[in-house]
A and B are shown apart, each in its own frame.
Chain A
Amino acid sequence: MRRAAAVAFVLFSGTGCSDPLAAPLPSAHGEDAAPRHGGTLRLASFGDIRTLDPAAVSDQLADEPVQLLFAGLVDFDANGKVFPDLAEKIETSADGLAYTFTLRPGVLFHDGTELTAADVKRSAERSLHPDSPSPTGAFFEGIAGEPEYTQKKAEHIAGITVGGKYVVTFHLAKADATFLTLLALHPLRPVCKSAGDRYSDSWMPCGAGPFKLLPGGWDRGRSLTLVRNESYFRPGQPYLDAVTFLYNVNIVTERFKFEAGEIDAIRDLTQADTVHYLTDERWKPLGEFEAAHSMFGESMNTEMAPFDNVEVRRAVAAAIDRDHLRLLRSANIVPTGHALPPDVNGYNAEIPGQKYDYDAALLHMKKAGYAYDPKTKTGGYPHRLVYTAYQQGSSEYGAVVIQQDLAKIGIDLDIRIVSFGTYLATTHRRHTSAISPQGWSQDYPDASDFYESLFLSRAINDEDTGNTSFYKNPELDRILDDAHREMDAKKRQALYDHAEIILRDDAPWAFTYAFRWYDVHQPYVHALAPHATWVWDIEHTWLDRAIGGISRGSVIRDFSFGSILGSASRRGAPK
């Protein structure tokens, strides 16, 4: 949930250490070596996690350890496709209203008790109970009986029925093409019986995932260590003895730790370091871009002048040169004029998106009645517009780029930089913000997450609105509702293509760019790839390290000033 802010933080770190890169630490065996058991994978982040309870998790950073602790009926593979995990078999009724899961028999929780269908129901009710702090309960309101349960009108969710020790059925109030995708998220994942029927802050996380948490394993604000679950239902997996996450690590320190072999992979890179790793031949094969799952744009309030005029919105969409924004962080920013990031299900590259066209932008301004003459710099919209951005990140720097681009068509922006919390409160309130930078990162890998959250008229609220442009289009509402129910993939894609065209032309947002992270790992780390939904795919990762950490004091032998500040004996010149 804090993904946009996380992206922003990295964007903010535009400059960084220009120290030459150390050489990669070697692997003990060749590339064709078989996977080996053992070792601890160490990762770090500048952020922190708040909880490990799937019923309460609200930040992307916690997704990774929660994914390792809790197995689900279904899960996402590395490409974001849903596959049966705890479920051995999934049967869907002809009307799409019932999903019956047959569980693998003999699956054990970390505490040694067997996972049964009753645990699935209990865990779902625990998570969706009105006293639970779940920030994603709304995802599951389509389960029959869920509204009555959350309004405390029913003791149990009528739509979740147990049909035997290993059989559980989810009944939906209406067909939902996203149901399995939503179920693959964390909130409803089965938790040990020790979790009880209701959420509790003091519960020690316990599930059926490949790793488990031991007492003392989570040192809040500093580190989290998960150890291998020896009774994991997939024989032989995982390969790692443990995974350690370090939190609140300064991103420059992260790089120092990575080079010293104190962490095994790195994701939070400054812009300078990203370029270093991308261009260094020794490191290039060890890096990989994650799929782009976050998109950004300029939200224009369709209830406020001048953006109640579609021609002005079109002018803005045409006036922004996305390439200017790309320069904010050239390696990670992917310019786009689409409402969806390129790697989200439903994206169709064949549909032309919004694009930079200065002449067209001037023409739209003229049609709107605000003709602007770039030579004399006269005309345009006569009032100055407040543009609320937040501290740190693309928002702060991108604001200047947007201001300059819009000035060229006669729209004058007054940039106000506020804290992230204030920004959210201000720009998500009705009749308050005419134009603001907005972003969205996938909650789940499906177009509906973006379209419905941002552009459905039902997503409009006076406070805390999801639809920040307050855009209302009954036709789009109908298309998105149809797509949500449509089980045929081709027909669904056609509906989303139609939605994309409407949004492009009506331009409630000027879509600007998608963001992708760049990950680098040491050569001795194998099968650690970016995951389409979680950050890393760790379950299959194995280590083959040739040497231990770099011993203290072993690096610099020449104590000259230049050696201390410049190069060290272990280092090779970057190629």
Chain B
Amino acid sequence: MKVLLSRLGWALFVVWSVVTITFFVEAVLPADPARMVAGAQARPVDVDRIRKQLGLDAPITTRYAIYMRRLVHLAPSSAPANAKDHAGCVAFGPIHVDLGRSYDQRRPVAVILGERLPRTVALAIAAMFVQLAIGIFSGVIAALRKGTALDTGVVAMSLIGVSAPTFILGVFLQFLFGHKLRWLPLDGFGTTTLDHLKSIVLPALTLGIFGASYYTRLVRDEMIVLMKTDYVRTARAKGASFTRAVLAHALRNALVPLATVVALDLGALVGGAIVTETLFRWPGLGALSVTALVNRDGPVVMGTVIVTSCAIVLANLIADSVYVLLDPRVRRS
């Protein structure tokens, strides 16, 4: 329990640090958010008025204090959702989280993130599924056929996969399956469940193939070492089938280092896959964060940073937990 509390305390500290650094970095950038809202050609008098409306005329420390005070605050559980001071809050009982209002969209950031986050999580999970399926399968095959043409082919393909940027791979997949073959939607999210499923294939493949290349090499290298270990040979000597020796003894151990990487990758994916989401018009956090950054939409930038940092911190905690579950030695120690 003590360890858990200590880790949670560190996690909160990390998130607070990230939020604070981002706030000040974002605030001192030379570009003027009010100008970006008003447009490049707006007259200065209009830009000034908008700057005041957005509260950007206040000193940076005041803005920081207001932001942090509102970020997590207490409110009566009975506070109506549409109450003026709490309209943009996410309520966890009496604890309210207020991420502010987007300068650009003029809506609560929490609402915007609430729309985007599930879609990014869905894409992250789908991409991870592709990554794991391809990575583990091809890694195991390559390891078992070490030194053969198949192994060379798999290694070569993984090298190409890891070298090809997602925008090249994505455009190629879109061109082939969306434009030429017309099997899958070119982009978008669709309106029905079937649409969603079809629409997620290409972005998930784009992210998945890229990530799978690394997993392939990782699993292959682990499996080659593990297949030569005493306990795998002992298992075979005691009558375990080849398949059982591979799956239950070698692969299970190969998954231990992979699990850590998977958890961290999942955390990063939840932060949003900027290029892939933009290319496929997938309405997730990645596309949102890049737009917010370009438009100097501070509250949205802060919101995406908070979600991303929380996701990565959480992923680290999960990685540690999974490690304990997969490796009895860690549990015992």
Contacts and interface: CB of A to CB of B under 8 A. Distances in A.
B31 A425 contact: yes
A250 B29 contact: no
Interface string B267-306: 0000000000011010100011001001110000000000
Contacts of B187: 249-250, 253
B39 to A, nearest CB: 2
Interface in A202-227: 220-222
Interface residues of B, number: 52
B278 A248 contact: yes
Interface string A243-283: 00010111011001101101000000000000000000000
A221 B112 CA distance: 11
B37 A564 contact: no
Interface in A433-490: 440-441, 443, 453, 461, 463-466
Contacts of A260: 179, 182, 186
A131 interface: yes
Interface in B16-43: 29-32, 35-43
A48 interface: yes
A201 interface: yes
A135 B107 contact: no
Interface stretch (B46-54, B157-165, B207-215): B46-54
Contact of A420 (B45, B107, B176, B294): B294
A137 to B, nearest CB: 5
A133 interface: yes
Nearest to B184: A552
A134 interface: yes
B192 to A, nearest CB: 14
Interface string B92-127: 000000000100111100000001000000000000
Nearest to A130: B49
Interface string A6-46: 00000000000101000000000000000000000000000
Nearest to B198: A552
A568 interface: yes
Nearest to A454: B41
Contact of A466 (B37, B44, B178, B189): B44
Interface in A543-575: 550-556, 564-565, 568
A77 interface: no
A1 B46 CA distance: 13
A424 B174 contact: no
Contacts of B184: 552
A221 B283 contact: yes
A1 B180 contact: no
A142 to B, nearest CB: 13
Interface in A409-439: 419-422, 424-426
Interface string B69-87: 0000000000000000000
Given A137-B49, A260-B179, A464 B29 contact: no
What are the 5 closest A-B residue pairs judged by CB atoms, nearest first?
A1-B39, A421-B31, A138-B43, A135-B38, A552-B182
5 contacts: A19-B175, A58-B37, A249-B281, A421-B31, A425-B35
